[in-house]
Structure 1
């Protein structure tokens, strides 16, 4: 999808006219180096919400079909069980991060007009921001899945939080250029990767990236603690 969007965008403003150049400059040309890393990370975030739904289904299906109980009966310790779930989460994060990296690299080489005049890996930190954002989304999905344990309801709650509750809270807390909304659990990582098509002049965030990273890590640590506490105290054989 990102490569297709890049093809459409670059061909639409392919002309050498002053208008075409002005539009590309105004929109930061998110398909060329070094802006391509931000563009690829932002596009990846759009589709990662679906990965969160898949992760919920994998977790809740274990409860529904009682495969989690069989693992415990077969001799797994609770920490083995937690490590298995954590490895699945990391697998999703790592594979999608690699996909974002490869997509950005290919798109940048395809559409950057003069590779000799740019730094290919400038702004590469956006790929790291994507990995943090992906981890936050999956951790939230994980927590919802173990608390609700019913696939349909858990997916509904997850989508309601991601698309409705989180956005409404953000709008309320950023009203009149307030900054509190950027410290919400998902927004703390989302805000690290602004919309690449949004001109910098319209950006209202004044909170530093470092503050958002610290906030996301704190939320993540708190949710991991709750997940571990749940698995240590829950009766997994029932």
Structure 2
């Protein structure tokens, strides 16, 4: 495994675009956290997002994981590019000539996906600890380390999403077209949801959505904004019920894990059948 990761590391190290996107991803994560801690003057009133409780333990695990997951598209470009470039730069064919099997090639890509996901999760964990210790009103250990399930959901969401990007890179071979297809597929899933909601029932549409690739990944981290105190206050004044299930369920992880396996296995089948 170390040998395979070393091969991928050298490929990424010599790609200026990949280096910029990877660094930009982590810098942007830090910048958003810093932006939330700054004070703004709105209509003569001082306002700071951090004062709204977004960095309170244990809520911070949910909020920052959700925001970080949105920024995953930076690394998605890296995954798609590094896969598509194997064809355009003919490094795939050279790797196979040098003795790397097709199974090892796919494994090296998947290991890279797992490493990216693990490093992102570790980065968010450290960032949350720092921000929480600075801004949180609750610093008891039992509270600090509760709700870590959102980090687990974040990790599996990234692995599943990057595995999909890996599959598209191998299927389409061109970075721009693969990313375009990713956007098309996201719209396609929403069309399925809307059509089923109209023709059948909304409940049935949600059940189908829960089983779709991107839909199931989205479900791993539900939106955290309605958990904010200000949102709950508005809801109570409007007499609206906003009691939702925000947790990460085991079956949601299982669905994403199945899709991850299917994407990696399909990538291997494509590579085996394709004439290089």
TM-score class normalised by the smaller sequence? 0.7 to 0.9
Among candidates 137, 140, 151, match of residue 127 of structure 1: 151
In structure 1, the residue matched to 2:134 is 110
8 Å Cα contact 1:130/1:193 also seen in 2: yes
In structure 1, the residue matched to 2:161 is 137
SS in 1 for 2:266: helix
8 Å Cα contact 1:136/1:189 also seen in 2: yes
In structure 2, the residue matched to 1:32 is 56
SS in 2 for 1:153: helix
What TM-score comes out, normalization by structure 1 length? 0.81
In structure 1, the residue matched to 2:37 is 7
8 Å Cα contact 1:177/1:204 also seen in 2: no
In structure 1, the residue matched to 2:259 is 219
Gaps of 5+ in 1: 15-19
In structure 2, the residue matched to 1:17 is none
8 Å Cα contact 1:6/1:107 also seen in 2: no
Q: Deviations over 1:211-230 (max 9, x none)?
A: 22222122222222211222
Gaps of 5+ in 2: 1-30, 41-45, 233-240
Aligned residues: 223
8 Å Cα contact 2:154/2:221 also seen in 1: yes
- Paired with 1:86 and 1:116, the residues of 2 have a C-alpha distance of 38
In structure 2, the residue matched to 1:196 is 224
User: Greater relative contact order (Cα 8 A, min sep 6): structure 1 or 2?
Assistant: 1
8 Å Cα contact 1:133/1:186 also seen in 2: no
What TM-score comes out, normalization by structure 2 length? 0.71
Q: Give the C-alpha shift of residue 231 in structure 1.
A: 2.3
